[in-house]
Structure 1
Amino acid sequence: MSILNENPLVLQLIAYALIIFFFWGLELILFSEKVKKKALHSLLNAKFIIFVLPVQIALSTIVFIVANWTQDKQWGLVYQLPLNEFSIAHFLVAFICIDFFDYWYHVMMHRVPFFWRFHQVHHSDMDVDISTTVREHPGETTVRVSFLIGIVFILGVPVQFLLIKQFIQSFINLTSHSKAKLPDRYNAIISLIFVTPNTHHIHHHYVLPQTDSNYGDIFSIWDRVFSTFSKMKQSEIVHGIDTNMNVEENKDFKNLITRPFDGNRVHSTNPIYKKNKLKTVK
Structure 2
Amino acid sequence: MLSFFENPLVLQLVAYAVIIITFWALEVSFHAERPIEKAKHSLLNAKFIFFVLPVQIGISTIVFMVANWTENTGWGLINLLPIEKHTVLHFIIAFIAIDFFDYWYHVFMHRVPFLWRFHQVHHSDMDVDISTTVREHPGETTVRVSYLVLVVFILGVPVEFLLLKQFIQSFINLTSHSKVKLPEKVNKIVSWIVVTPNTHHIHHHYVLPYTDSNYGDILTIWDRLFNTFTHMKQTDIVHGIDTNMNESENKDFKDLITRPFDNERTHSTNPIYSKQSLKTVK
* TM norm structure 2: 0.96
Please give the residue correspondences for 1:138-153 in structure 2 after superposition, counting only pairs within 5 Å.
138-153=138-153
Q: Secondary structure at the match of 1:263?
A: coil
Using the TM superposition, give the Cα deviation of residue 275 of structure 1 relative to its aligned residue in structure 2, in angstroms: 3.9
Alignment-derived partner of residue 39 in structure 2: 39
Alignment-derived partner of residue 192 in structure 1: 192
Using the TM superposition, give the Cα deviation of residue 56 of structure 1 relative to its aligned residue in structure 2, in angstroms: 0.2
CA contact (8 A) 1:118 1:137 kept: yes
Distance 2:66 2:117 in 1: 29
Distance 1:135 1:218 in 2: 19
* CA 120–269 in structure 1, closer or farther in 2 if over 3 Å, else same: closer
Alignment-derived partner of residue 203 in structure 1: 203
Query: 1:104-152 CA distances to partner (integer Å, 9 max, x unpaired)?
Result: 0000000000000000000000000000000000000000000000000
Which 5+ residue runs of structure 2 have no aligned equivalent? Answer: none
Using the TM superposition, give the Cα deviation of residue 243 of structure 1 relative to its aligned residue in structure 2, in angstroms: 1.0
CA RMSD of aligned residues (A): 1.8
Query: 1:180-217 CA distances to partner (integer Å, 9 max, x unpaired)?
Result: 11001000011111100000000000000000000000
Alignment-derived partner of residue 97 in structure 1: 97
Q: Secondary structure at the match of 2:38?
A: helix
Using the TM superposition, give the Cα deviation of residue 268 of structure 1 relative to its aligned residue in structure 2, in angstroms: 5.1
Using the TM superposition, give the Cα deviation of residue 6 of structure 1 relative to its aligned residue in structure 2, in angstroms: 5.2
Distance 1:155 1:280 in 2: 36
Distance 1:35 1:197 in 2: 21
Alignment-derived partner of residue 213 in structure 1: 213
Is residue 24 from structure 1 mapped to residue 19 from structure 2 by the alignment? Answer: no
Q: Secondary structure at the match of 1:127?
A: coil
The amino acid across from 1:133 in the alignment is: T
The amino acid across from 1:83 in the alignment is: I
Alignment-derived partner of residue 249 in structure 1: 249
Distance 1:19 1:268 in 2: 32
* TM norm structure 1: 0.96
* CA 280–74 in structure 1, closer or farther in 2 if over 3 Å, else same: farther
Distance 1:280 1:102 in 2: 26
Q: Which segment is superposed worse, 3-12 or 70-79?
A: 3-12
Q: Which segment is superposed worse, 3-12 or 76-85?
A: 3-12
Which 5+ residue runs of structure 1 have no aligned equivalent? Answer: none
Q: Which segment is superposed worse, 256-265 or 122-131?
A: 256-265
CA contact (8 A) 2:208 2:269 kept: no
The amino acid across from 1:87 in the alignment is: T
Query: 1:73-112 CA distances to partner (integer Å, 9 max, x unpaired)?
Result: 1110000001111000000000000000000000000000
Alignment-derived partner of residue 230 in structure 1: 230
Alignment-derived partner of residue 164 in structure 2: 164
The amino acid across from 2:107 in the alignment is: V
Distance 1:132 1:13 in 2: 16
The amino acid across from 1:158 in the alignment is: P
Distance 1:75 1:4 in 2: 30
Alignment-derived partner of residue 14 in structure 2: 14
Using the TM superposition, give the Cα deviation of residue 153 of structure 1 relative to its aligned residue in structure 2, in angstroms: 0.2
CA contact (8 A) 1:229 1:281 kept: no
Alignment-derived partner of residue 112 in structure 1: 112
Distance 1:90 1:265 in 2: 46
Matched-pair identity in %: 74
Alignment-derived partner of residue 127 in structure 2: 127
CA contact (8 A) 1:98 1:151 kept: yes
Distance 1:121 1:67 in 2: 30
The amino acid across from 2:203 in the alignment is: H
Distance 1:173 1:222 in 2: 16
CA contact (8 A) 2:113 2:268 kept: no
Distance 2:229 2:239 in 1: 18
Alignment-derived partner of residue 263 in structure 1: 263
